[in-house]
Amino acid sequence: MSEIPIYIRHCILYEFQLGNNASAAARNICAALGDISLEDRLKSGRPLESDIERLKVLIEDNPRLTTRELLAMLGCIQSTIDRHLHEMGKVNKLETWVSHQLTSDNIQQRITICNSLLSKRNRHRFLQRIVTGD
């Protein structure tokens, strides 16, 4: 009886003094204290990693899927889908899931566009040819 914590012993003594038998005492103590174990247990439900992998595949196949469609396919709640999409770095732009971070190709494309716009501005002095007056 040395492995039983002292507070459980006090509960057993209390139940004994009330005149309860062992099964009634155990039932009362469990009802009052519940499961007091601090050990991690396996949780029921679907594995989280497979849902994340399946979500990645679904988004790569069709980036126009809505969260409602994803929740119907995956069978989990919308906040879980939103959290996983955020963790993957995806944001919804114009009803399409895109990466929040720019790729090197995206950066190079932006630089090219900016350079072409700057060179066009220097070639065509449209605004300088406009005459304004009262």
Query: What is the per-residue pLDDT across 45-75, written as a single tens digit (0 to 9) for each?
Result: 655 566 788 889 999 999 999 988 988 888 8
Q: Which tokens in the block code for residue 72?
A: 């119907």
Backbone angles phi, psi at 91, to 5 degrees: -130, 155
pLDDT digit string, tens, across residues 88-128: 889 998 888 888 888 899 899 999 999 988 887 666 666 66
**Global pTM value:** 0.45
Element (H, E) at 27: helix 22-33
Q: Do residues 91 and 97 lie in contact, with contact meaning Cβ atoms separated by under 8 Å?
A: yes
- Would strands 90-93 and 96-99 be described as parallel, antiparallel, or unpaired? antiparallel
pLDDT in tens, 13-42: 999 899 999 888 888 888 888 766 656 666
Sequence-distant (6+) residues with CB within 8 A of 48 are none
